[in-house]
Amino acid sequence: MYFEKFPTITYSLDGNQTSFVITDIFRRVVADAENLLTATAYDQHDIQDGDTPEILAHRLYGNVQLHWVILILNGIIDPRWDWPLTSQQLRKYITDKYGAGNEYGIHHYVTNDSYADVVHSSYAGSKLPVTNTDYEEDLNNARRRISVLQPRFVPEFINRFNGILINGDQ
C-alpha cells in the first residue's frame, strides 16, 4: 500500500544493455504535521511494550497496512531502531552492546541539580552515576511517546501524501 503511488524509474546495472522498471524507493515525503493538517488532528500516544507499527495501525485505524502513516508522521525511518524495543529486546541489546556483566556499569555522571547536566568523573561537585541500563532505558522510553493521527483524518492525510508524492503539491 505504501509504495503503490511511488513513481517508477528505469534502472540498469550493466550500462543500459538490460533495463528494469522499478519503484523509485528513494522518494521520501517528510510529513510536516503543522502544514498537513491542523494540530487538533493528532493525539499523543504512548507505545506499550510489544506494540509494533502494524499492531498500532490495526488498533487505531483497523488496517495494518496503514502502519506507514504512523511511521511517517513520527519521522521514523528505521522501525527496528527508531521504534522502542520491548523490555526483553532492550535487555539483550544492552548486554550485547556493553558486554555481559557490564549492564550496570557507569555510563556517565550527572549533577545532583540536573539530570541533563553530564559531568566528567573527576567533577569535584556532587554527582550521580547513570548506569548503562539507565541510559539505554531513558533513550528507549523517549521513543515511546508519539503522535498519531485521529482516524477521521487518515483519508485526507493519504490524499495529501499522494498529491505530494505524485505531483509535488505542497
Return the higher-pLDDT residue of 4 and 87.
87
Q: Residue type for 45, please?
A: H
For the stretch 52-92, pLDDT in tens is 999 999 999 999 999 999 999 998 989 888 999 999 999 99
Give the pLDDT of residue 34.
46
The mean pLDDT of 10-33, rounded to a whole number, is 68
CA distance 85 to 82: 9
The residue ranges of DSSP E strands in the chain, in sequence order, are 8-12, 19-23, 42-46, 106-111, 118-119, 127-131, 145-149
For the cut 60, the answer to whether the pLDDT of residue 37 exceeds it is: no
Residues 6+ apart with CB under 8 A from 28: none
Map 60-96 to HEC letters. HHCCHHHHHHHHHHCCCCCHHHHCCCCHHHHHHHHHH
Contact 72, 29 (CB under 8 A): yes
Among 159, 137, 146, smallest CA distance to 37 is for: 159
Nearest to 83 by CA among 151, 142, 157, 150: 142
Comparing C-alpha atoms, which of 147, 113, 139 is closest to residue 128? 113
For 93-135, the pLDDT digits (tens) are 999 999 999 999 999 999 876 677 888 888 888 899 999 999 9
Query: What pLDDT, on a 0 to 100 scale, did the predictor assign at position 104?
Result: 97
pLDDT confidence bin for 27, thresholds 50/70/90: low
